[in-house]
Chains A and B, each alone.
Chain A
């Protein structure tokens, strides 16, 4: 079965607000957690990753939080823009293994 999953299949957010996309995982052996964004008609695109020994990592307008106690991962997008509309996937990987296992995805819709 899947080692990562998402709480909600869809999320609607007002433009300018912050978005929080959540992901639960079951495999404590994962070494990396990664977020990908997939726009309509395109392939997934890497956003940000976090190693399992970290609890927070920030990028440009995005922050990933990792709570190993409850096996929960979140992606926060600040000041959501129309271009953020996409499906967001969390994925996990083990060190030394190139295989990424993807979750089912959350569709983020931005309300003007």
Chain B
């Protein structure tokens, strides 16, 4: 079975450019998460969706970040304009169940973003 699919796997962009990260969750999963990982801050939850609806976006750093989930099989995380401090690995993850039991979250392989 295909896991969570993220694209691009690697991106290098210049400061000020728009960055769009894409995610296809595992089919049938109804929760989707965007995490960011850095050496300094570890794994941070940015936002998560349940049934395509954003539930908690308190981790989104600032207005430069936005996330959408137009349907059950696709989500985007956009950074505009990008800054060097946004350099990180961005993980998308999905889980099959609602709030009752979501300890098993399936992560993609990440999008490695470098902003120069």
Instruction: Please encode chain B, from 96 to 111, with 1 for each CB lying within 8 Å of some chain A CB and 0 for all others.
Output: 0011101111111110
Give the contacts of B45-84 with A (CB-CB under 8 A). 45, 48, 50, 55-56
Binds B, one of A21-29, A36-44, A68-76, A77-85: A36-44
Bound-state CA distance A100–B48 (Å) is 11
Instruction: Please encode chain A, from 69 to 112, with 1 for each CB lying within 8 Å of some chain B CB and 0 for all others.
Output: 00000000000000000000100010111111111110000000
CB-CB < 8 A to B99: which residues of A?
95-98
**A interface size (C-beta, 8 A):** 23
Interface membership of B26, Cβ < 8 A: no
Closest A residue to B45 using CB positions:
A99
Contact A105–B107 (Cβ < 8 Å): no
Measured CB to CB, the closest approach of chain A to B29, in angstroms, equals 12
Measured CB to CB, the closest approach of chain B to A99, in angstroms, equals 6
Bound-state CA distance A63–B100 (Å) is 23
Measured CB to CB, the closest approach of chain A to B46, in angstroms, equals 11
Bound-state CA distance A2–B41 (Å) is 10
Interchain CB contact (< 8 A) of B107 among A34, A44, A101: A44
CB-defined A-B contacts under 8 Å, sample of 11:
A2-B42, A41-B109, A42-B110, A43-B4, A49-B104, A89-B43, A96-B100, A98-B50, A98-B55, A98-B95, A103-B42
Give B contacts to A, CB under 8 Å.
4, 31, 33, 42-43, 45, 48, 50, 55-56, 91, 93, 95, 98-100, 102-110
Given A46-B103, A46-B105, A98-B102, 12 extra CB contacts under 8 A = A34-B103, A42-B109, A42-B110, A43-B109, A44-B43, A46-B106, A93-B103, A98-B55, A99-B48, A100-B45, A100-B103, A102-B43
